[in-house]
């Protein structure tokens, strides 16, 4: 039996694969789990392409570094305690495939999924692509994000939240909110009065005037 020592080329490839696996581990921990968005530059290339990620609002485009930071900030906001638990990693020629378990508490609104306050978990697999400088330049991901969010919403009790509006807000006038006003939420106009989003449900009202925001009706009470 003849033992063949790895060639120099094979050694270099193995070292690069291990380096990229370590980089990806740090990226998932620092940026996605710990929320250190300012550390993106240490991991992410100047151009990052989301090749396939159904359910992600950024599925498809190529982002610059600022755009990628905005994506992380937006994606983490509804799940501030999120954690990625890495399963297996396989690396080959500028690509690292990783299986993972993601856990979080759904405390904020996500597109089409209002906050539930419930713990949520989902698993998936992602292939990350690296450029020649060992920076992450994109990914291809598979996970059933919508199914898990829908399941959490189905078992959640109604969540009531409060948001302070400007003191000059008036019933019948247009008020800008950071997000569309979901049903069942209360928006304070000042310290003594509130505007209740009811989406067509009847509530006791001081006045019959209504305000429409994001397709919902707000009644002063």
CA distance 193 to 200: 20
Domain edges within the chain: 8-154, 160-221
Residue segments in the chain with a per-residue pLDDT below the cut of 70: 1, 3, 146, 148, 151-221
Specify the pLDDT at position 152.
Answer: 59
User: Could you tell me whether strands 186-188 and 136-143 are parallel, antiparallel, or unpaired per DSSP bridges?
Assistant: unpaired
Specify the pLDDT at position 15.
Answer: 95
Specify the pLDDT at position 79.
Answer: 95
Fold of 8-154: Nuclear Transport Factor 2; Chain: A, (3.10.450)
CA distance 215 to 181: 8
Asked whether the CA dihedral 171, 175, 180, 185 is positive or negative, the reply is: negative
Which phi and psi angles does 32 have, rounded to 5°? -80, -40
pTM: 0.67
118 in Cβ contact with 155 (< 8 Å): yes
CA-nearest of 73, 127, 83, 124 to 105 is 83
Beta bridge partners of 32: none
Specify the pLDDT at position 55.
Answer: 85
């Amino acid at each position: 039996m003849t033992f063949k020592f790895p060639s120099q080329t094979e050694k270099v490839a193995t070292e690069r694969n291990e380096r990229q696996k370590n980089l990806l581990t740090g990226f998932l921990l620092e940026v996605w789990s710990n929320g250190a968005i300012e550390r993106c530059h240490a991991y992410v290339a100047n151009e990052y392409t989301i090749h396939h990620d159904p359910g992600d609002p950024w599925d498809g485009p190529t982002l610059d570094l600022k755009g990628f930071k905005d994506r992380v900030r937006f994606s983490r906001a509804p799940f501030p305690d999120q954690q990625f638990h890495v399963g297996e990693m396989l690396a080959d020629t500028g690509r690292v495939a990783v299986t993972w378990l993601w856990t979080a508490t759904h405390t904020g609104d996500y597109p089409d999924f209002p906050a539930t306050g419930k713990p949520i978990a989902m698993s998936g697999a992602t292939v990350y692509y690296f450029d020649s400088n060992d920076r992450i330049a994109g990914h291809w991901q598979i996970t059933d994000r919508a199914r898990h969010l829908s399941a959490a919403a189905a078992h959640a009790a109604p969540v009531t939240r409060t948001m302070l509006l400007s003191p000059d807000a008036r019933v019948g006038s247009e008020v800008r909110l950071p997000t569309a006003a979901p049903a069942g939420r209360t928006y304070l106009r000042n310290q003594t009065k509130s505007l209740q989003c009811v989406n067509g449900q009847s509530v006791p009202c001081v006045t019959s005037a209504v305000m429409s925001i994001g397709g919902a009706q707000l009644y002063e009470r």
